[in-house]
């Protein structure tokens, strides 16, 4: 905690990939700040670099230029203060739910008894207590993702980076998990960066929706959602939701039609 | 989206062993494709994959068909032998087996052969697993080691025997060496393949959970490649066993291969048959044992 008050600060990050003859610009001069305990969703078409952004923050990739700061310190490699949840769940298939949740606790050297009770707590939090000793192959997609969420929560990260975590789930399961995630989050606040391609999901979850554009990947628009809003079914069906949803949708959709003149878009930063 | 583990060999079909022998995990060609998937022919992959979970009735029928097939085969053999082909009849073979068992010859041969195969196989696997891991983990080592492995894979162990005899003499060493080589070459490629096939997402998941290289290796790479290693071991065991007869050409005094060779000098067909059948049964039993271990260790795999 030094010069910046932002929990996460992305400053002029550019990431290019060398594809042999040409280079692909996944992120072009992206800047954004995320405050502590903020729930930010990132939505955008495929190729807008939203996963790249997440990987940079997770420490799995390094920016070509610019820098990513967490708590004021540049990101260098993964760290236990940043939990990551992957779209493909990434559970270790040879470990039970409990062992998966304990994995991060073991690597960070938490003693066995404490590991047990912590794992127990988070498995209960996501409602998998009946499946604690089941292997992932016996779980449904939604249950797997809940297990992954418990695993990420267990190492007590102050930041959760979620890369389209519900992207592979059916609509109903997805809505349920969204509500459950918000419930978990409201009881146990973390800073969340949630990546999605689903506009409804982006609006429903967020304090702030960041819309990204592709080719090159950049921040296109930022839409705030009143954090005081109660996130429930009423909200989902409200005029406020519809309005926000339309704005985000417009922002995502409109850029698609204008990719040829992408250069006019502002490189918005908050 | 899945870590694409090798498809488990379906249960108890007599084809399994040959299937495992036949498949040939060349890293560059089969890369990205599960090591075991090609074995036993993908043409019948669909129904086979579910055979283990079939109701008892279907399974019983399947075993009955297996039995019928064996009986028919023996019947055909008998008919051919009676029809004047140069074959011993089943009773002749059975009575010779009785003689060889009662005078202890067969037990001695089995002991000698099994000792060689198991020592060669154990050494080969023990060397192959770490080498395969190193090749999969470090590109530099892969670049240095791979040409030699690919080169030696093209030489039949039989062709190495003269060299082995000249260098190592005529005792057990050259025999065990060629078996070792056969097991090693089969297993090292499978292990290597297992390591390069480990899902990147799992490695990333471990990294973001705070795991360092050593932990990732021990707790992610090793378990994730276990299915590949076990397939490699089965292939290795098959080729070790196949190399045995050739190895026992090297001035052996005992062993199933030696017994067959020796019987050939006297046109002793029943003894040749006893030797061949014993080799087949023992190979099958060892393969079953590994298959069982495979099921135990890789039951976490998702099957289609």
pLDDT digits (tens, 9 = 90+) for B179-235: 999 999 989 999 999 999 999 899 999 999 988 888 999 999 999 999 999 999 999
Nearest residue of chain A to residue B209 (CA atoms):
A104
Q: How confident is the model at residue B2 (pLDDT cuts 50, 70, 90)?
A: very low
The Cα–Cα gap between A220 and B282 comes to: 69
Q: How confident is the model at residue A267 (pLDDT cuts 50, 70, 90)?
A: very low
DSSP classification of residue A263 = G
The Cα–Cα gap between A38 and B239 comes to: 61
The Cα–Cα gap between B68 and B70 comes to: 5
Nearest residue of chain B to residue A61 (CA atoms):
B204
Q: End-to-end CA distance of chain B: give it in Å, rounded.
A: 13
The Cα–Cα gap between A56 and A50 comes to: 10
For the stretch A145-167, pLDDT in tens is: 999 999 998 988 999 999 999 88
> Quick one: average pLDDT of B271-298?
91
Tokens in use for A219? 């921040």
Give CA separation, A90 vs A152, A237, B157, B217, B254, in Å: 11, 33, 42, 16, 53
Kindly state the percentage of chain A with pLDDT values over 70: 93
Tokens in use for B107? 């037990």
Query: Of all helices (H) and strands (E), which one includes residue B93?
Result: helix B90-102
| Residue among A83, A91, A92 whose CB faces B208 most closely | A83
Rounded to a whole number of angstroms, the CA Rg of chain B reads 22
| Residue A161 backbone phi and psi in degrees, to 5 | -110, 120
Helical residues (DSSP H) of B217-268, grouped into ranges: 222-247, 256-265
Task: State residue B53's pLDDT score.
Answer: 54
**Which strands, in side-by-side order, build the sheet including A39-43?**
A82-85, A159-163, A191-196, A39-43, A208-213, A218-224
* 8 Å CB contact of B201 and A82: no
Identify all chain A residues contacting B214, using CB atoms and an 8 Å cutoff: none
The Cα–Cα gap between A103 and A110 comes to: 10
Residues linked to residue A24 through DSSP beta bridges, in sequence order: A17
User: What is the three-class DSSP state of A18?
Assistant: strand
Nearest residue of chain A to residue B215 (CA atoms):
A107
Judged against a pLDDT cut of 80, whether residue B3 lies above it is answered with no
Task: State residue B54's pLDDT score.
Answer: 57
Judged against a pLDDT cut of 50, whether residue A137 lies above it is answered with yes
For chain B, how many helices (H) and strands (E)?
14, 0
| Residue among A59, A82, A93 whose CB faces B300 most closely | A93
> Quick one: average pLDDT of B146-160?
88
Of the candidates A94, A88, A164, the residue with the CA atom closest to the CA atom of residue A135: A94
Q: How confident is the model at residue B16 (pLDDT cuts 50, 70, 90)?
A: very low
> Quick one: average pLDDT of A164-177?
87
Return the minimum-mean-pLDDT range out of A28-32, A258-262, B142-146, B265-269: A258-262
Nearest residue of chain B to residue A85 (CA atoms):
B205
Task: State residue B30's pLDDT score.
Answer: 36
Give CA separation, B279 vs B56, B114, B209, B242, in Å: 31, 10, 50, 9
- Provide CB contacts within 8 A for B185, sequence distance 6+: B124, B128, B149, B152, B153, B236, B239
Of the candidates B3, B15, B14, B25, the residue with the CA atom closest to the CA atom of residue B230: B25
pTM above the 0.80 mark? Answer: no
* 8 Å CB contact of A84 and B205: yes
Task: State residue A87's pLDDT score.
Answer: 86
Task: State residue B165's pLDDT score.
Answer: 86
Q: How confident is the model at residue A268 (pLDDT cuts 50, 70, 90)?
A: very low
Total Cβ atoms within 10 A of residue B196: 17
CB neighbour burial string for A193-230, b if at least 16 within 10 angstroms, e if fewer: bbbbbbbbbbbbbbbbbbbbbbbbbbbbbebebeeeee
Q: How confident is the model at residue B118 (pLDDT cuts 50, 70, 90)?
A: very high
| Residue among B201, B208, B300 whose CB faces A82 most closely | B208
For the stretch A210-256, pLDDT in tens is: 999 888 888 888 999 888 888 888 898 999 999 999 999 888 877 75
Task: State residue B46's pLDDT score.
Answer: 35
Give the A-side interface with B, CB within 8 Å. Answer: 58-60, 77-80, 82-84, 86, 88, 90-95, 103-104, 107-108, 135-137, 151, 155, 168
Tokens in use for A268? 């918005």
Who wins on pLDDT, B109 or B17?
B109
Task: State residue B203's pLDDT score.
Answer: 93
Identify all chain B residues contacting A168, using CB atoms and an 8 Å cutoff: 1
Q: What is the number of CB-based contacts under 8 A between chain A and chain B?
A: 70
| Residue among A94, A137, A151 whose CB faces B223 most closely | A94
Tokens in use for B143? 């670049």
Q: How confident is the model at residue A108 (pLDDT cuts 50, 70, 90)?
A: confident
* 8 Å CB contact of A80 and B209: yes
| Residue among A58, A60, A104 whose CB faces B210 most closely | A104
Judged against a pLDDT cut of 50, whether residue B49 lies above it is answered with no
Task: State residue A194's pLDDT score.
Answer: 94
Average pLDDT, chain B: 81
The Cα–Cα gap between A60 and B254 comes to: 59
* 8 Å CB contact of B209 and A92: no
Identify all chain A residues contacting B3, using CB atoms and an 8 Å cutoff: 93
> Quick one: average pLDDT of A133-153?
91
Who wins on pLDDT, A16 or B246?
A16
Q: How confident is the model at residue A80 (pLDDT cuts 50, 70, 90)?
A: confident
Task: State residue A261's pLDDT score.
Answer: 37
Residue tagged 């409602």 (tokens): A127
Task: State residue A2's pLDDT score.
Answer: 46
Interface-testing mutation among B203, B210, B220, with chain A (most A C-beta atoms within 10 A): B210
Kindly state the percentage of chain B with pLDDT values over 90: 48
Judged against a pLDDT cut of 90, whether residue B243 lies above it is answered with no
Identify all chain A residues contacting B215, using CB atoms and an 8 Å cutoff: 107
- Provide CB contacts within 8 A for B158, sequence distance 6+: B243, B246
């Amino acid at each position: 905690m030094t010069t910046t008050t932002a929990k996460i600060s992305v400053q002029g990050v550019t990431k290019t990939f060398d594809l042999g003859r040409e280079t692909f610009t996944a992120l072009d001069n992206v800047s954004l700040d995320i405050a502590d305990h903020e729930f930010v969703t990132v939505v955008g078409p495929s190729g807008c670099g939203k996963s790249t952004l997440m990987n940079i923050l997770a420490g799995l990739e390094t920016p070509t230029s610019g820098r990513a700061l967490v708590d004021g310190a540049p990101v260098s490699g993964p760290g236990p203060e940043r939990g990551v949840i992957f779209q493909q769940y990434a559970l270790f298939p040879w470990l039970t739910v409990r062992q998966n949740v304990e994995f991060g606790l073991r690597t960070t050297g938490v003693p066995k008894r404490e590991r047990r009770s912590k794992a127990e707590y988070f498995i209960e939090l996501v409602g998998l207590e009946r499946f604690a000793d089941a292997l992932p192959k016996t779980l449904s997609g939604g249950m797997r993702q809940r297990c992954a969420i418990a695993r990420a929560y267990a190492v007590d990260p102050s930041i959760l980076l979620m890369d389209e975590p519900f992207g592979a789930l059916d609509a109903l399961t997805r809505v349920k998990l969204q509500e459950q995630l918000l419930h978990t989050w409201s009881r146990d606040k973390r800073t969340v960066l949630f990546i999605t391609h689903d506009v409804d999901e982006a609006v429903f979850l967020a304090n702030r929706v960041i819309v990204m554009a592709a080719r090159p990947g950049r921040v296109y628009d930022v839409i705030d959602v009143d954090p005081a809003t109660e996130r429930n079914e009423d909200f989902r069906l409200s005029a406020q939701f519809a309005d926000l949803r339309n704005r985000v949708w417009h922002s995502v959709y409109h850029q698609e039609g204008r990719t040829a003149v992408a250069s006019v878009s502002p490189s918005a930063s908050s | 989206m899945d870590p694409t583990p090798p498809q488990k060999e379906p249960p108890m079909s007599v084809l399994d062993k040959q299937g495992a022998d036949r498949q040939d995990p060349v890293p560059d060609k089969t890369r990205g494709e599960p090591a075991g998937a090609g074995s036993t022919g993908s043409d019948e992959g669909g129904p086979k994959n579910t055979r283990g979970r079939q109701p008892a009735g279907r399974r019983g029928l399947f075993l009955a068909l297996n039995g019928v097939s064996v009986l028919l085969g023996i019947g055909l053999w008998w008919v051919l032998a009676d029809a004047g082909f140069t074959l011993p009849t089943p009773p002749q073979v059975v009575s010779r087996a009785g003689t060889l068992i009662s005078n202890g010859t067969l037990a001695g041969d089995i002991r000698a052969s099994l000792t060689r195969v198991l020592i060669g196989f154990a050494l080969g696997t023990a060397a192959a697993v770490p080498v395969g891991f190193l090749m999969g983990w470090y590109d530099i080592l892969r670049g240095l080691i791979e040409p030699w492995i690919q080169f030696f894979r093209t030489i039949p162990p039989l062709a190495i025997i003269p060299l082995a005899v000249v260098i190592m003499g005529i005792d057990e060493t050259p025999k065990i060496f060629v078996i070792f080589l056969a097991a090693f070459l089969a297993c090292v490629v499978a292990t290597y393949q297992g390591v390069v096939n480990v899902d990147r997402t799992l490695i990333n998941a471990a990294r973001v959970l705070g795991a360092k290289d050593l932990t990732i290796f021990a707790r992610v790479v090793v378990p994730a490649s276990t299915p590949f290693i076990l397939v490699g071991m089965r292939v290795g065991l098959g080729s070790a066993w196949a190399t045995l007869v050739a190895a026992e050409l090297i001035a052996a005094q005992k062993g199933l291969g030696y017994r067959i060779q020796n019987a050939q000098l006297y046109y002793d067909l029943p003894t040749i048959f006893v030797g061949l059948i014993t080799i087949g049964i023992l190979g099958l039993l060892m393969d079953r044992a590994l298959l069982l271990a495979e099921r135990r260790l890789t039951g976490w795999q998702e099957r289609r």
